[in-house]
Structure 1
Amino acid sequence: MDLALLESTLAELGEPAYRARQIWEWTAQGADGYAQMTNLPVRLRDALSERVPFSTMTVEREARSADGTIKVLLSTHDGRPIEAVLMRYRDGRHSLCLSSQSGCPLTCAFCATGAMRFGRNLTASEILDQALHFRRLGRVDHAVFMGMGEPMINLANVLAACRRLPDLGIGHRHTAISTVGWIPGITTLAAEPMPLRLALSLHAADPALREELMPVNARYPLAEVIAACEAFYAAKRRMVFVEYVMLAGVNDSVGQARALADLLDPRMFKVNMIPYNPTDSTFTGSSPRAIAAFAAELERRGLSATVRLTRGRDIDAACGQLAARV
């Protein structure tokens, strides 16, 4: 819902300010239209149906995985494609993977989104409408900004959406914002009162290799990115999650695990190893044995390490696979 349009329309209709709060409460609780809002006059519900679209997005297609993951392809009013994902876990979590941009301008070599044509930043309402789409399907309680785009480039709108997520059931401590190392955004997030989590998309401890995989490293060198993350920890006292996609023969040797452990302070960082999910790139995923050896070396050196549970791979909904196709 375009909340700014809603407020201006209510003002034009001469409605009291509390009407916006009523409408938002219904929307955040999963209502799928104005007709359900029984504490609003019928004439107002009719007027809003004509003047304020209930969502800024149009649902184009939906795919459902055998593991319960749901991916939705949405389009904006100007035809920009967006994908968002709902992941259901056995421990009861219902976690959303949200997009902050249509496409991505940063062209990481292993990521399908980076191969898309970049469209534009999403508005706060467009980000929020992804979450609202899944809220209408049921309970949601976690969110990660790991979908399409670099959230730190669009941080003002991402934060505006985050301020509303608790109304849907997603607390700030259960919301993580991922970045490739966009230092101005990390610095801004460190000063943000909301206790949001930070995730760093790292993928190589060697700067030269990281630059091959992630061209942004030329703009924001690895040493400066790590320093910014350490400053985030100092300001927030919240550990930084390091995302590390495991690429066979590229970044998965035990020696590279040692280099990663040397780079990261175990008091400030946790490593989340991500099995590579197939895209149109030339990479292949590391073997289970290589992943286990990598994790064991990190743990031996005192660095906490986990392997991400892959969700939605059969519908191209897993990490790195979002490319506006279902």
Structure 2
Amino acid sequence: MSATGAVIEKAPETSAVTYASGEKPMLIGLSREEMGALLREKGVPERQIKMRVAQIWNWLYVRGVSDFDAMTNVARDMRDMLARHFTIARPEIVEEQVSNDGTRKWLLRFPPRGAGRPVEIETVYIPDEGRGTLCVSSQVGCTLTCSFCHTGTQKLVRNLTAEEILSQLLLARDRLGDFPDAETPVGAMVPAEGRKITNVVMMGMGEPLYNFENVKKALLIASDGDGLSLSKRRITLSTSGIVPEIFRTGDEIGVMLAISLHAVRDDLRDILVPINKKYPLKELLDACRAYPGLSNARRITFEYVMLKDINDSLEDAKLLVKLLRGIPAKINLIPFNPWPGTNYQCSDWETIAKFADFINQAGYASPIRTPRGRDILAACGQLKSESERMKKTERLAFEAMMIANHGED
């Protein structure tokens, strides 16, 4: 992996899903209009389309069913037709790991698309007092080659479809007993009251804004009031800085924004986050200042991984405060999570504490993320597919942490 980065190429869009021969189209991830069009093609009378779509939508996103036979208020002949022509099945769980601290990680396998092959991604659930956060992937692999990030060492395979993004949330709610009449696994660490999954962060594998249309579609369905009904203030999209899509994120999706910043000078950020060569700090921060709906109540989160003797000096802290002047913001300080082959080390705790103190005194909230899921490699920048991951015996040597404190409480 080159520390200076490679040519950044945008992954091919996959909004128009093509299916392998014999594979049934998936109803999850479709808009109401798209679902209605498919029903119309299969001979459902026009006068029934709106009602049938509403029924299916409710069963998929409110009741959380994954079998057409469970749709008990839908006529038998209609259920049989749906089962013949479509699917609502969950992805395959290749592996499920549960950390000592309650963090859960799923390795999921999705079927081929068109002439492709099955692909694998990881999804992580982080329980905290009063909240449960699901970290969702948007791509298989990543194209950004951030030099401190383990995920970035896995080549980009393809974008995930809206269905595949949503399926991570549906499957996690299944496994946690977060749908009506479902049971939570015995001994699971989950919020004591309300939903098990209260917050969603687009911080898993991939760069969400290089898969904008599918991410948009999935998040609008996730926040639909007649379905999964997640508050947009509890959904956070994290980007490394794809400037042209930042305004669109606020304008067309309306979720909370997080920026993977990690450096306060262009020369260093060019190395740590190579997309900076295309969209340097000034352009990125100007885009943040113009983010729709930005206010003290809707702040942008800036992620800052702490790298020993690289970006952790008091001078870096001063420049950070200066850069963010005028932007309603909070700054998440992330102790670096080591991985085999990396040349970076985590900053000393005393250094991190001094950095945080300076930022706090300047008026910015700057929480330091505590290690989570250290025994199952569930950390930011460490998610990889099964074929790319470290051996289990290696995982225990590394601290793992997941950013969980995003969105409104």
TM, length-normalised to structure 2:
0.74
The letter for the 2-side match of 1:202 is L
Match of 2:164 in 1: 126
By how many angstroms is 1:169 displaced?
4.0
Q: Is the 8 A contact 2:125 2:135 kept in 1?
A: yes
Q: Residue 88 of structure 1: SS of its match in structure 2?
A: strand
**Counterpart-to-counterpart distance in 2, 1:279 and 1:49:** 45
**Counterpart-to-counterpart distance in 1, 2:326 and 2:349:** 24
Per mean C-alpha deviation after superposition, the further-off stretch among 104-113 and 78-87 is 78-87
Q: Is the 8 A contact 2:151 2:381 kept in 1?
A: yes
Q: Deviations over 1:205-243 (max 9, x none)?
A: 01111111111111111111011111116x543321000
Aligned in 2, Cα 1:43/1:69: closer, same or farther, shift over 3 Å? farther
Q: Deviations over 1:72-93 (max 9, x none)?
A: 1112222122111111112x21
Match of 1:104 in 2: 142
The alignment covers a number of residue pairs equal to 323
Q: Is the 8 A contact 1:190 1:231 kept in 2?
A: no
Q: 1:258 aligns with which of 294, 318, 321?
A: 318
- The answer as to 2:154 corresponding to 1:116 is yes
Gaps of 5+ in 1: none
Match of 1:140 in 2: 197
Q: Is the 8 A contact 1:105 1:114 kept in 2?
A: yes
Aligned in 2, Cα 1:41/1:321: closer, same or farther, shift over 3 Å? same
Q: 1:26 aligns with which of 48, 59, 63?
A: 59
Match of 1:86 in 2: 125
**Counterpart-to-counterpart distance in 2, 1:7 and 1:80:** 29
Q: Deviations over 1:140-174 (max 9, x none)?
A: 22111111111111111111111111322421111
Per mean C-alpha deviation after superposition, the further-off stretch among 57-66 and 315-324 is 57-66
By how many angstroms is 1:34 displaced?
2.0
Q: Residue 140 of structure 2: SS of its match in structure 1?
A: coil
**Counterpart-to-counterpart distance in 2, 1:38 and 1:302:** 55
Match of 2:392 in 1: none
Q: Is the 8 A contact 1:121 1:154 kept in 2?
A: yes
**Counterpart-to-counterpart distance in 2, 1:296 and 1:216:** 29
By how many angstroms is 1:8 displaced?
5.0
The letter for the 1-side match of 2:254 is P
Match of 1:232 in 2: 291
**Counterpart-to-counterpart distance in 1, 2:249 and 2:151:** 24
By how many angstroms is 1:97 displaced?
0.7
- The answer as to 2:301 corresponding to 1:241 is yes
- The answer as to 2:244 corresponding to 1:184 is yes
The letter for the 2-side match of 1:293 is K
By how many angstroms is 1:59 displaced?
2.2
Aligned in 2, Cα 1:267/1:188: closer, same or farther, shift over 3 Å? closer
Q: Is the 8 A contact 2:294 2:328 kept in 1?
A: no
**Counterpart-to-counterpart distance in 2, 1:115 and 1:73:** 18
Match of 1:277 in 2: 337
- The answer as to 2:238 corresponding to 1:199 is no
Q: Is the 8 A contact 1:9 1:51 kept in 2?
A: no
Q: 2:218 aligns with which of 147, 154, 161?
A: 161
Q: Residue 168 of structure 1: SS of its match in structure 2?
A: coil
By how many angstroms is 1:272 displaced?
0.7
Match of 1:77 in 2: 111
Match of 2:394 in 1: none
The letter for the 2-side match of 1:34 is F
The letter for the 2-side match of 1:297 is F
**Counterpart-to-counterpart distance in 2, 1:146 and 1:243:** 11
Match of 2:71 in 1: 37
Match of 1:53 in 2: 87
Q: Deviations over 1:11-36 (max 9, x none)?
A: 34433322222122122132232222
The letter for the 1-side match of 2:171 is H
**Counterpart-to-counterpart distance in 1, 2:83 and 2:351:** 56
The letter for the 1-side match of 2:54 is R
Aligned sequence identity (%):
40
**Counterpart-to-counterpart distance in 1, 2:106 and 2:354:** 36
**Counterpart-to-counterpart distance in 1, 2:372 and 2:152:** 20
Match of 2:405 in 1: none
Q: Is the 8 A contact 1:61 1:72 kept in 2?
A: yes
By how many angstroms is 1:67 displaced?
1.4
Aligned in 2, Cα 1:313/1:168: closer, same or farther, shift over 3 Å? farther
TM, length-normalised to structure 1:
0.92
**Counterpart-to-counterpart distance in 2, 1:46 and 1:82:** 32
Q: 2:352 aligns with which of 291, 295, 299?
A: 291
